[in-house]
Amino acid sequence: MRAVIRSVAWAALVVTSGCARETPPVTADPADRVADPSLLRLGQPHLMGALEVTRFAAASPGGRLHLAVAVANRSGSRIAARWRFRYIGNDGWELRSERSAAWKTATIEPGGEWTWEGEAEVTGAVAAGMDWRHDRE
């Protein structure tokens, strides 16, 4: 009886080890991220309808992406939020740098508008979008 159990256990070991060799290893490359094409991505559902992009202009004078953005607060209360840009390269992949990954803060009064203008924080960007998250005051 023990010989049968050992034979079954040995056969199971051989079968499972053979399967493990045939399955290719799964590798997750952090660079494998396709850029999100949405202009404004809101971190919380309650920001939907509260924030509205009223201006988003992008131009590349001299080969460097220049952005001009305006976001209006359509809610009846002050919104304290964090924001950052998402940059897209010519190949459609997202580009990041340490500076671009950092969240910045903005406070927008009810009915007010927040504006920003400047150059992209990464080289090689051809388009951009924004992430917004609500901060509790």
Q: In the chain, which stretches have pLDDT less than 70?
A: 1-38, 135-137
Q: How far apart are CA 128 and CA 35, in angstroms?
A: 9
Q: How far apart are CA 134 and CA 73, in angstroms?
A: 12
- Could you read off the pLDDT of 36-68 as tens digits, one per residue? 656 777 777 778 888 888 999 999 888 889 999
User: What pLDDT, on the 0 to 100 scale, is given for residue 14?
Assistant: 34
pTM summary value: 0.67
The listed CATH number (2.60.40.3230, 1.10.287.1080, 3.30.70.20, 3.40.50.720) that belongs to domain 40-135:
2.60.40.3230
Element (H, E) at 127: strand 125-135
